[in-house]
Structure 1
Amino acid sequence: MNDQTVRDLLHEAADDIEPRDRLDAIRAATASTSGGRRTHRGWWAAGGAGLLAASIATAFALTTGGAPQSTGPDLAAPPTSGSTVPDGGTSSPVAVYFVGDTAAGPRLYREFRAADPDSRVTSAMVAALRGDALDPDYRSLWPSTTVFRAWSTGPDGITVTLEGAPVERPAGMSEQDAQLAMEQLVRTAQALEGQGRVPVDVQVAGAVTDTILGVTTTTPLTGSPDADVLAPVSISDPVEEQVVGDGQLTVRGRALSESRVVTTRIQRWEGTFVVAQEVDRLRAGNDGMLEFTATFDLTDVPAGQYAVVSTVEHSDGTVDSDTRRITVID
């Protein structure tokens, strides 16, 4: 698969997912149900044998790096020159949510990556939990003991089963970080399903619990409003370390700003020399994240490494940016 084909797939995925990400969201339901304490023992007993087999297969892939299977966590390489999908499969972009720093504190950033369709769910969930982001500025807030174990969908939403996730909030983790970690998992699951802000039931294998990381999980979670948890500006395309060989670069992303203005510039990676800049005004009429697009002709730009930087300025004078590292070749 060549560079352009993978980029086209990423563009199509962004077009499909971004409108759903802007749907009006409601806060996570955290009150206990009238029926009292939720129990998963029946589910565990019924599905224990199948889950055990899947867990063993997943653990084997994690520790041995074996051939990609549907249970394997084969994380996709960034779609740069020469990137391929194992065993000749077709690349299918997935969106994974990570945590990064903003002027207002930690927030969520979305990162697209190519993935084998047979392992896209496991790849995305494992990456989100581990913090295996392509962009070194991103991370995960989940404890390292947490392991993805199972996934299922149904008419009532998505069920994600973890293993090793602390029931109580770990020492040193703030309540805000615990909520953001859960939001990171929920939004990644919803993006994988591609049906909007559907409920996500997060469980711990073999445990009966009302909380995970101290966050109430007695009822499925749908997520918080965009403005409360998402970074004010986030680049969807290009991906980190993308190679630009035809001189044309289109930058796509999402932003939330009072001024509704996003400035995108291309500058040398080492230094601050700006080779191109474009200002995009966001559309009005939506309180959620809005798309922006900036197109650049880099035909006359010397080969080398550059930074793509998209920036929004807030009414209080603070500034937020998202950055991608790219390589321009002749």
Structure 2
Amino acid sequence: MNTPRSRSVALSLTAVLSAAALAGCGNDPDPVASDPASTSEPSSTPESTDATTEPTDPAETTEPTQPATTTAAPVYFVGDTPMGPRLYREFRQVEADNPYAEAVALMVAGDVVDPDYDSAYPDGRFASIEVDAEEGVILVEAADDGWNTPAPGMTKAQAELAVQQLVYTVQGIAQDRLPVRVWLGDPTNAVPLFGIDTADGLTAADPLDVLALVNVTSPEEGTTVSDKFVANGLASSFEATVPWEIRQGDTVVLKGFSTAEGWMDKLYPWQSDVDVSGLAPGDYTFAAMTDDPSGGEGPGPFEDTKTITVE
């Protein structure tokens, strides 16, 4: 087993898994960072691809309705923050008939869209994953015993973050806070994950302890924008204030702020209309931040950045 990569924490891997269906990822699907039942839908969250064909003339032969081929899944990666490595979320399009397989494969492999993110996993893979509705647990099958103990050089904090990366991803897909059990050989044979016992079911840690306190959902990394666009995401920021900036190199060329739906106890949705009609065409960086009431005396604000192109 290889040593984890040096940035934040590390990994590369592929996963082969069996799955359950993902329902309604458009509403913030994270079951801990915000409550799906009370969260407004992000305006640019990816939606399922629907191949349905509607005929314009009833006399014409209608094509059979095709099921959605892909769906949006929340995948959690690791990124740097003023308080050490934490989890950031990307919505990724995955196969609708088996979202766990592809989403967890992306997670463990560190297959990111935003190059600021990475993964906490060393080389290896999971063999399968499924939701046992009767028992009320998400069952994750280990491929072998290589991840039973921490990888060489992996600290306890890194191991715990890797565990949370898995828990947040599969619970987000399930949209349920079901405990997660890792097994090998027999589903009743729970095994540790990087030395952390899973027999009683892994649960999501407090989001304020493991998630980056600001996360940009839209614009996505590499988005092209013109005139106006809507920026949104999740944050837990002082007095719900979420400042944002557009930078060109080290120069701030535009700034504003959003007011999130809440703060303090978890991450809440924020949204802001951004007018870039006065900017020259070119490449820029959109940055959303937490407010820093300490005036620089504390660790500093959390930040999530996305490269955008203004046309």
Normalising by structure 2, report the TM-score: 0.73
Aligned mate of 2:34, from 16, 22, 29: 22
SS at match of 2:209: helix
Inter-CA distance 15–261: structure 2 relative to 1 (3 Å threshold):
same
Whether 1:263 and 2:243 are equivalent positions in the alignment is: yes
Whether 1:306 and 2:284 are equivalent positions in the alignment is: yes
* C-alpha contact 2:126 2:140 (8 A) present in aligned 1: no
SS at match of 1:114: strand
- RMSD between aligned residues: 2.9
Give 1:186 deviation, angstroms: 0.7
Give 1:148 deviation, angstroms: 4.2
Gaps of 5+ in 1: 1-11, 24-77
Q: Deviations over 1:185-239 (max 9, x none)?
A: 01100111123x2212222356955412001111111211111111111111121
Task: Give the Cα–Cα distance (whole angstroms) in 2 for the partners of residues 17 and 149 of structure 1.
Answer: 22
Task: Give the Cα–Cα distance (whole angstroms) in 2 for the partners of residues 232 and 257 of structure 1.
Answer: 7
* C-alpha contact 1:276 1:296 (8 A) present in aligned 2: no
Higher helix content, 1 or 2 = 1
* C-alpha contact 2:290 2:301 (8 A) present in aligned 1: yes
SS at match of 2:29: helix
Inter-CA distance 176–239: structure 2 relative to 1 (3 Å threshold):
same
The number of residues matched between the two structures is: 257
Inter-CA distance 327–119: structure 2 relative to 1 (3 Å threshold):
farther
Task: Give the Cα–Cα distance (whole angstroms) in 1 for the partners of residues 269 and 167 of structure 2.
Answer: 22
Aligned mate of 1:322, from 301, 304, 307: 304
Q: Deviations over 1:134-160 (max 9, x none)?
A: 111111111112334332331312112
Mapping 1:87-102, distance limit 5 Å: 90-102=69-81
* C-alpha contact 2:76 2:87 (8 A) present in aligned 1: yes
Whether 1:114 and 2:126 are equivalent positions in the alignment is: no
Percent of matched pairs sharing the same residue: 30
Give 1:96 deviation, angstroms: 0.2
Equivalent residue number for residue 184 of structure 2: 204
* C-alpha contact 2:127 2:141 (8 A) present in aligned 1: yes
SS at match of 2:167: helix
Structure 2 counterpart of 1:302, one-letter code: A
Task: Give the Cα–Cα distance (whole angstroms) in 1 for the partners of residues 113 and 107 of structure 2.
Answer: 11
Structure 1 counterpart of 2:306, one-letter code: R
Gaps of 5+ in 2: 1-23, 36-44, 52-65
Equivalent residue number for residue 21 of structure 2: none
Whether 1:128 and 2:107 are equivalent positions in the alignment is: yes
Equivalent residue number for residue 225 of structure 1: 206
Task: Give the Cα–Cα distance (whole angstroms) in 2 for the partners of residues 85 and 204 of structure 1.
Answer: 37
Inter-CA distance 204–307: structure 2 relative to 1 (3 Å threshold):
farther
SS at match of 1:234: strand
Whether 1:177 and 2:173 are equivalent positions in the alignment is: no
Equivalent residue number for residue 137 of structure 2: 157
Whether 1:139 and 2:118 are equivalent positions in the alignment is: yes
* C-alpha contact 1:17 1:194 (8 A) present in aligned 2: yes
Aligned mate of 1:187, from 168, 171, 188: 168
* C-alpha contact 1:113 1:239 (8 A) present in aligned 2: no
Structure 2 counterpart of 1:274, one-letter code: V
* C-alpha contact 1:85 1:116 (8 A) present in aligned 2: no
Task: Give the Cα–Cα distance (whole angstroms) in 1 for the partners of residues 127 and 74 of structure 2.
Answer: 17
* C-alpha contact 2:180 2:198 (8 A) present in aligned 1: no
SS at match of 2:118: coil
SS at match of 1:182: helix
Inter-CA distance 85–238: structure 2 relative to 1 (3 Å threshold):
farther
Give 1:161 deviation, angstroms: 1.6
Task: Give the Cα–Cα distance (whole angstroms) in 2 for the partners of residues 220 and 147 of structure 1.
Answer: 17
* C-alpha contact 1:85 1:115 (8 A) present in aligned 2: no
Task: Give the Cα–Cα distance (whole angstroms) in 2 for the partners of residues 19 and 219 of structure 1.
Answer: 19
| Greater Cα shift, 311-320 or 93-102 | 311-320
* C-alpha contact 2:217 2:233 (8 A) present in aligned 1: yes
SS at match of 2:245: strand
Give 1:259 deviation, angstroms: 4.2
Q: Deviations over 1:111-170 (max 9, x none)?
A: 112233134221111011111111111111111123343323313121122314421122
Give 1:19 deviation, angstroms: 7.0
